[in-house]
Amino acid sequence: MIRPSTEIVELLKKQWDRSNEADRREWRVLSGRNHRGRYDLFISTHERIWQLKLEQTGDKEAIGFGLEVGKPDDDLRRLFMRGAPVPFGLISPSKDELAIVVAGIQQYSSESTYTLCKNYISDKQAELDERLDSEIERMKSNPLLRYRYREQKERELRAYL
């Protein structure tokens, strides 16, 4: 079931809080950007893998949706080990707290995230993109949010020139 990314982050925080030290050592984060410039973020626990699909909508703002992908197996664990280790940080609003802050080291590999999306969970990628597209269109109906979104997209273009 597709949910807002904030709900998934809250669920993951509760799982983290309940887990023991040995289980926490098995948590992994893998991220990469897809051809549309969106971030595919995968979080693996010892029991489950979750995906968040995020798009930057402002300088320090993003919107996203996600879903539970399934259980990790040896092939998926190998994918989570590919890429470059880089710092990871995510701040998410929360109903119970001011915000949930997630930080650590992630593996960054657009190739690995593409493989996960295409070969393991391809049927849900279109649904995630559609949800994100409709939320962005709704957001752009507000003139201030539309302006900030356009500024963000211009910043992203300049970064590659």
Give residue limits of the domains in the chain. 3-160
Long-range pairs of 151-158 with CB within 8 A, sequence gap ≥ 24 = 151/58, 151/59, 152/56, 152/57, 152/58, 152/59, 152/61, 155/59, 156/37, 156/56
pLDDT value at residue 160: 54
pLDDT tens-digit series, residues 93-143: 777 777 888 888 888 998 888 888 888 777 777 788 888 888 877 777 777
pLDDT value at residue 15: 92
Longest dimension (CA), the chain: 48
Question: pTM value?
Answer: 0.80
Burial of residue 60 (CB within 10 Å: 0-12, 13-18, 19+) is exposed
* CB burial string 5-22: b at 16+ within 10 A, e below: bbebbbebbebeeebeee
